A and B are shown apart, each in its own frame.
Chain A
Amino acid sequence: MRESVVEFGPTRGLVGVLTAPPPGTPAHDVAVLIVNSGIIHRAGINRLHVRLARMLAASGYPCFRYDLPGIGDSEAAGAGDAIEQSNVTATMAAMHALRASDVAERFVIVGLCSGANHGFHAACTDPRIVGGVLIDPTVMFSTFRHRVNQFLRLIRRGVRPIVWWRLVTGRYRVVEEIRHGSTRVTDPGAPTLLDPSRDRVAWLASRNAFQLLTDRNVRLLLIITQHNRGVYSYQRQIFDVYRDVGKLEATLRVIRRPAADHTFSREADRRFLDQAILGWLNSWTSARLAHAAPREAATPGAA
């Protein structure tokens, strides 16, 4: 495993770390981009990105973890630039830099939470992205079955002995809960559940985006942890949301890991994540000529 620091972008104000496969390792024909979650810098929460990059590189996938504008060590974008657009521009610059130094011409983008959102958006924008790993995206659409699951979950929680004990002993003030429930500040990090009927515009936009990606044969891996159980409650939910998107089942794989928290705090869950991503990549990418010596990344830089 060899790592090099890359400053890239028009002003070389963006920073990333390239992890290349060890010499002699059969290199795959895609490179993996790992993008920030929230405003955590490129190493990732619990050093997830470093660990993932080094593991994938050892298996032949060049990996590039980098900071989006204004995050970590990357300079902020111009004052007039919308955040989403500047993030996509930065990802395009990353791909350009890696392509210019012969690392890869096709890319898979990996993102957790807001990083998943960005990865999806970038994949829709740039055809060089041929795959995406979306871990706990922040928005999901509901289905009838999901609403039933949530209702049953509420019932199961309600019949727990501790709930009745609190009710009987006055520790659970039902009236106050009802009165204040609607004004309670929601967790800013909680995912958002939308309804395809009520949020029709958003649903249509996402539906068209998925169709665009399936038409381009972009492979997607959706990983759901317990953090998203309130918005994603059964394996086929996304397929039910987008029933009329052709070929979706051929290009999208869903993995649910209810035991894992949002940041994969436990080693068992981190190992699961590593193997899930590696296994998925191996299932559809191909190795270059075996034992072809990977080229050195020669000053990847300005786009």
Chain B
Amino acid sequence: MSAFLFGSSAQPLFGYHHAPRGNGAGAVVICSSWGSEYTYAHHALRVLAKRLAEQGRHVLRFDYSGQGDSWGDTTDADVDRWITDTATAMEELRAISGHAVVDVVGLRIGALAAAACAGTPGVGRVVLWDPVLDGREWMRQLSPAFSGKELDQRSGSREFGNCMVSATLLRQFLAIGPERYSRSGAESLLLLQSQSSGSTRAAGFEAIAASMEHRVVDDALPWLEDSSIWCGLVPARSLATIVDWLGRA
């Protein structure tokens, strides 16, 4: 099956494996973003996965805990757990593909999960696609009415980003800054940033990998809703950049 549940039977994650054309030149895990960004970018990431598979790679897309078709309510969403989920997805793809080393592509907050796995055994090249660098600013993008008062509640879940979330998640989001991308040891890194995202800085990322390439692309932002289709657009240039970079030996 291409679509399947993996990980713990009590807390399964949803995954979709794209089988490679040919013998399988490598393996890539794709880490999505959260909330509306996850929803709107879903199609673009599927297109990316298909193109990487056509290039000869095993590709695994998956849903984090508390998101999509994976276990858990939205109140179970937790950034630290997502990092563990990403590691689980990588382990799953190693088992499926037979490749000991897996590359990873992370979009938006998915880039944080990808960066957290960088340098760990079995993780190869890393693509950080428009990583979230300022948690507070990102939260305002997700929920313009966000003021921080949502954290004043002593306990229980609260509304954010059109769903119920825990205070823990909000605090984790608020704490996101460039220092979250400081883990080193990746084989090589592509930092891909969209011109219109408002964030095209590269400083600080060099420490993640032995070699880094920084590309700024003028392209659509797939995690935003385009009013003509009520979903995210497929950013052709961004996808081509990623596919081309991973395609290099």
| Interface assignment of A50: CB less than 8 Å from any CB of chain B | yes
Interface residue from B5, B67, B159, B230 paired with A267 (Cβ < 8 Å): B159
| Interface assignment of A188: CB less than 8 Å from any CB of chain B | yes
User: How far apart are A15's CB and chain B's nearest CB, in angstroms?
Assistant: 5
| Given A39-B229, A266-B159, A5-B3 contact (CB < 8 Å) | yes
| Given A3-B69, A47-B163, A73-B230 contact (CB < 8 Å) | no
Task: Give complex CA distance A73, B43 in Å.
Answer: 8
Interface residue from A7, A187, A265, A266 paired with B3 (Cβ < 8 Å): A7
Whether the Cβ atoms of B4 and A47 lie closer than 8 Å is no
Whether the Cβ atoms of B230 and A50 lie closer than 8 Å is no
| Given A46-B163, A73-B46, A188-B69 contact (CB < 8 Å) | no
Question: Hey, which chain A residues are within 8 Å of B4, CB to CB?
Answer: 5
Question: Hey, which chain A residues are within 8 Å of B12, CB to CB?
Answer: 3
Question: Hey, which chain B residues are within 8 Å of A51, CB to CB?
Answer: 73
| Given A5-B1, A46-B163, A263-B162, A187-B227 contact (CB < 8 Å) | yes
A19's nearest neighbour on chain B, judged by CB, is B69
| Interface assignment of B164: CB less than 8 Å from any CB of chain A | yes
Provide the A265-296 mask, 1 if CB < 8 A to any CB of B, else 0: 11100000000000000000000000000000
Interface residues in B1-56 by Cβ distance below 8 A to A read 1-5, 12, 14, 16, 36, 39, 42-43, 46
Task: Give complex CA distance A160, B60 in Å.
Answer: 55
Interface residues in A16-50 by Cβ distance below 8 A to B read 17, 38-43, 45-47, 50
Provide the A1-15 mask, 1 if CB < 8 A to any CB of B, else 0: 001110100000001
| Interface assignment of A189: CB less than 8 Å from any CB of chain B | yes
B143's nearest neighbour on chain A, judged by CB, is A265
| Interface assignment of B228: CB less than 8 Å from any CB of chain A | yes
| Given A3-B5, A3-B69, A4-B5, A40-B46 contact (CB < 8 Å) | no
Question: Hey, which chain B residues are within 8 Å of A43, CB to CB?
Answer: 39, 63, 67-69
Interface residues in A143-196 by Cβ distance below 8 A to B read 187-189
Q: Report, as a range, how many residues of chain A touch the other chain.
A: 20 to 34
Whether the Cβ atoms of A42 and B3 lie closer than 8 Å is no
Task: Give complex CA distance A43, B14 in Å.
Answer: 11
| Interface assignment of B242: CB less than 8 Å from any CB of chain A | no
Question: Hey, which chain A residues are within 8 Å of B69, CB to CB?
Answer: 3, 5, 17, 42-43, 50
Whether the Cβ atoms of B16 and A73 lie closer than 8 Å is yes
Task: Give complex CA distance A134, B1 in Å.
Answer: 32
| Given A43-B68, A73-B3, A265-B162, A17-B14 contact (CB < 8 Å) | yes
Whether the Cβ atoms of B14 and A38 lie closer than 8 Å is no
| Interface assignment of A72: CB less than 8 Å from any CB of chain B | yes
User: How far apart are A243's CB and chain B's nearest CB, in angstroms?
Assistant: 34
Question: Hey, which chain B residues are within 8 Å of A267, CB to CB?
Answer: 159, 163-164
Question: Hey, which chain A residues are within 8 Å of B46, CB to CB?
Answer: 72-73
Whether the Cβ atoms of B231 and A47 lie closer than 8 Å is no
B229's nearest neighbour on chain A, judged by CB, is A39
B1's nearest neighbour on chain A, judged by CB, is A7
User: How far apart are B129's CB and chain A's nearest CB, in angstroms?
Assistant: 19
A12's nearest neighbour on chain B, judged by CB, is B1
| Interface assignment of B84: CB less than 8 Å from any CB of chain A | no
Question: Hey, which chain A residues are within 8 Å of B67, CB to CB?
Answer: 43, 47
List the 6 shortest-distance A-B pairs measured between CB atoms, nearest first. Answer: A265-B162, A46-B162, A38-B230, A15-B3, A5-B3, A43-B68
A-B contacts, 7 of them at CB < 8 A, read A5-B5, A15-B2, A38-B229, A40-B230, A41-B39, A45-B36, A263-B162
